[in-house]
Amino acid sequence: MTDDRSSAFVPGHVTAFFSAHPDEVVHAAGSRGAGVTISDGVTVTVDPVAEPGETPTQTVNGESTTIEPVTLVLSKLDVDARVAIETDLPLGAGFGVSGAAALGTALAAADALEAGRSENDLIRTAHAAEIEAGTGLGDVVAQARGGIPIRLEPGAPGYGALDGVPATARIEYVTFGELSTESVLADDTADLSAAGERALTTVEADPTLETLMDASRTFAREAGLLVPPVAEAIDLVDDVGGEASMAMLGRTVFALGTGLSDAGYDPTVCRVHPGGSRVCGTDDTAE
Amino acid sequence: MTDDRSSAFVPGHVTAFFSAHPDEVVHAAGSRGAGVTISDGVTVTVDPVAEPGETPTQTVNGESTTIEPVTLVLSKLDVDARVAIETDLPLGAGFGVSGAAALGTALAAADALEAGRSENDLIRTAHAAEIEAGTGLGDVVAQARGGIPIRLEPGAPGYGALDGVPATARIEYVTFGELSTESVLADDTADLSAAGERALTTVEADPTLETLMDASRTFAREAGLLVPPVAEAIDLVDDVGGEASMAMLGRTVFALGTGLSDAGYDPTVCRVHPGGSRVCGTDDTAE
């Protein structure tokens, strides 16, 4: 460990609906849509490799692994570092962990090295890494903002445009397993994107959490993404008068308030995250 | 009290430097510059008046008062309400309390009434109220964002543009009294704005906290805003190797880390606020 290491926290992001917007300019590519950032997230600690012969490594909860967008961020920033990722969120289940890992790596690396890059610059770097890796389209810009982000226009700062739903809520979620973002995005997304555009129009006209949840359920149905355990949980929450939908893209159901508890599930409980991503700092700034 | 009341938290904002940009379009008017949002802030509770004959009131820390931007926000939203503002921040001392009160009122009122307005919409409303009241130019958009905001372009969402410094720090501050924003802005601001533009160019080229503090000190000197107790405190912090500057516009000194403590002052201690403004919710969302 050197004295230069720094860490950053990035909230998880559950996408409620989206439309895909590919573009040859990587910073302009992305998605439109809306979702909820949650207080469960990802903490990334970056420890620049100072000694010759030290090997850059990546770990997730202590296990050695490689997350492609993290590797790409380090490459774009020209940093050799040990990256330690800690998270309670399930991987591949629709919480934007890869985007959070990429953004957290960019923020912590820039702070550790006093790189003199602005937050927009670092968000662009992480967004580009996600797009190039094919692991996400809109998580990074949503996670940087926090709250309940509406992605009005696709892309990184300088291209995209964001708004938000002014609300908060207790959030519950259950996960039934992984769903590959890459495989869904590799299919023809024309019908999915048309459904996503309709959902966005609905939420822009009435930016409330209830309308967002309703638009998300309609999107999941129209886009043909519902799988049996997810559809069943959404129906059971509806039966008890709650609001639930599917996290895009994962076999995950999220609900407002006590919806999943009331329906008999044993969910993980968190909240809408009040802020966006943030540098947590080095030892000397953490006092 | 009705069941509809809601509250919102808005961080304080210390402006490090700025240039003034008047415009006939109120959403386009504002300032460019940079500053620091702090964990000490303003909590606004809005309780819509439901019964005929009830009188809308405003209180700050329990004392009856009227804050013009708050009155304007309620008028723009067409809401009659009791507004209770709680804050530990000193008024008129450069912490953006009027902007925070306006933004908090907009967010809490919209949540209480389920007004179906987006966050950008509410930020525009509060920004316009501040501009019309002449009480501030850039606090509202900075407070909505949080962190260490750089105001690249003036104005509310749809007009302005923001970036940020990716850092955190312990912040200390001492206040020697009030300074009227209105009176400074009523003077010829050409020299002040020229100094502010130079400071912004410096920080855009190297977006770090140290450069921001250095640019702020240069701005305060060039704009002729330094007053004796403020200038002395900044010099004493410099003597002990610390980083301090003046809050625009107040007789307030803020410092990174333990700068003011090390210089022998007894400062208030807070931190860079990790998020922006946020709805705290009603009783049913706060569980």
Q: Hey, is the C-beta of A188 within 8 angstroms of any chain B C-beta?
A: no
> What pLDDT is stored for residue A284 in this prediction?
54
CB contacts of B257 in chain A (<8 Å) are: 284-285, 287
Burial class of residue A239 (count of CB atoms within 10 Å of its CB; 0-12, 13-18, 19+)? exposed
Q: How would you write chain A as a 3-class SS string?
A: CCCCCEEEEEEEEEEEEEEEECCCCCCCCEEEEEEEEEEEEEEEEEEECCCCCCCCCEEECCEECCCHHHHHHHHHHCCCEEEEEEECCCCCCCCCHHHHHHHHHHHHHHHHHCCCCCHHHHHHHHHHHHHHHCCCCCHHHHHHHCCCEEEEECCCCCCCEEEECCCCCEEEEEECCCCCHHHHHHCCCHHHHHHHHHHHHHHHHCCCHHHHHHHHHHHHHHCCCCCHHHHHHHHHHHHCCCCEEECECCCEEEEECCHHHHCCCCCEEEEECCCCCEEEECCCCCC
> What pLDDT is stored for residue B286 in this prediction?
46
What's the CA gap between A106 and A118, in Å, rounded?
Answer: 11
Contact A99, A139 (CB under 8 A): yes
> What pLDDT is stored for residue A1 in this prediction?
39
If you compute the radius of gyration of chain A from its CA atoms, what whole number of angstroms results?
A: 18
What's the CA gap between A9 and A44, in Å, rounded?
Answer: 6
User: Which residue segments constitute the domains of chain B, with CATH numbers given?
Assistant: 1-280 (3.30.230.120)
> What pLDDT is stored for residue A169 in this prediction?
96
Contact B166 A110 (CB under 8 A): yes
pLDDT more than 70, % of chain A? 95
CA-closest candidate to residue B135, choices B225, B63, B66, B35: B66
- Nearest residue on chain A to B204, judged by CA atoms? A118
CB contacts of A208 in chain B (<8 Å) are: 114, 116
State ipTM: 0.93
Q: Hey, is the C-beta of B153 within 8 angstroms of any chain A C-beta?
A: no
Length of chain B measured in residues: 287
* Range of lowest pLDDT (A67-76, A101-110, A212-221, B2-11): B2-11
CB contacts of B118 in chain A (<8 Å) are: 150, 163-166, 204, 207
What residue has token string 């004796």?
B228
B171: which strand partners? B256, B270
Contact A166 B207 (CB under 8 A): no
Q: Which two tokens stand for residue B50?
A: 């439901």
CA A30 to chain centre: 13
Distance from CA of B211 to the nearest CA of A (A): 10
Reply yes or no: is the peptide bond before residue B249 cis, omega within 30 of 0.
yes
| Distance separating the N- and C-terminal Cα atoms of chain A | 19
**Which 3 state secondary structure label does DSSP give B42?**
strand
* Range of lowest pLDDT (A55-69, A90-104, B273-287): B273-287
What's the CA gap between A87 and B45, in Å, rounded?
Answer: 34
Average pLDDT of the segment spanning A144-150: 98
CA distances from A215 to A13, A197, A218, B20, B287 (A): 17, 10, 5, 42, 25
B246: which strand partners? B253
A184-200 pLDDT per residue, tens: 766 778 889 999 999 99
Burial A246-255 (b: 16+ CB within 10 A, else e): bbbbbbbbbb
A60: which strand partners? A63, A85
Average pLDDT of the segment spanning A250-269: 97
> What pLDDT is stored for residue B281 in this prediction?
81
Q: Residue A280, CB half-sphere, CA atoms under 13 Å: how many?
A: 15
Contact A119 B147 (CB under 8 A): yes
What's the CA gap between A166 and B280, in Å, rounded?
Answer: 10
Beta-carbon contacts of residue A249 (< 8 Å; ≥ 6 apart):
A15, A94, A179, A180, A181, A184, A225
Is residue A32's pLDDT more than 90? yes
Instruction: Tell me the average pLDDT of chain A.
Output: 93
Residues (pLDDT < 50) of chain B are 1-2, 286-287
Picking from B107, B113, B277, B278 by the largest number of A CB atoms within 10 A of its own CB, the best residue to mutate is B278
Picking from B7, B120, B203 by the largest number of A CB atoms within 10 A of its own CB, the best residue to mutate is B120
Contact A158, A211 (CB under 8 A): no
Contact A118 B166 (CB under 8 A): yes
| Bigger pLDDT: A182 vs B278 | B278
CB atoms within 10 A of CB A241: 10
Contact A279 B168 (CB under 8 A): yes
> What pLDDT is stored for residue A285 in this prediction?
56
Burial B206-238 (b: 16+ CB within 10 A, else e): bbbbebbbbbbbbbbebbebbeeebbebbebbe
Is residue A50's pLDDT more than 90? no
> What pLDDT is stored for residue A2 in this prediction?
45
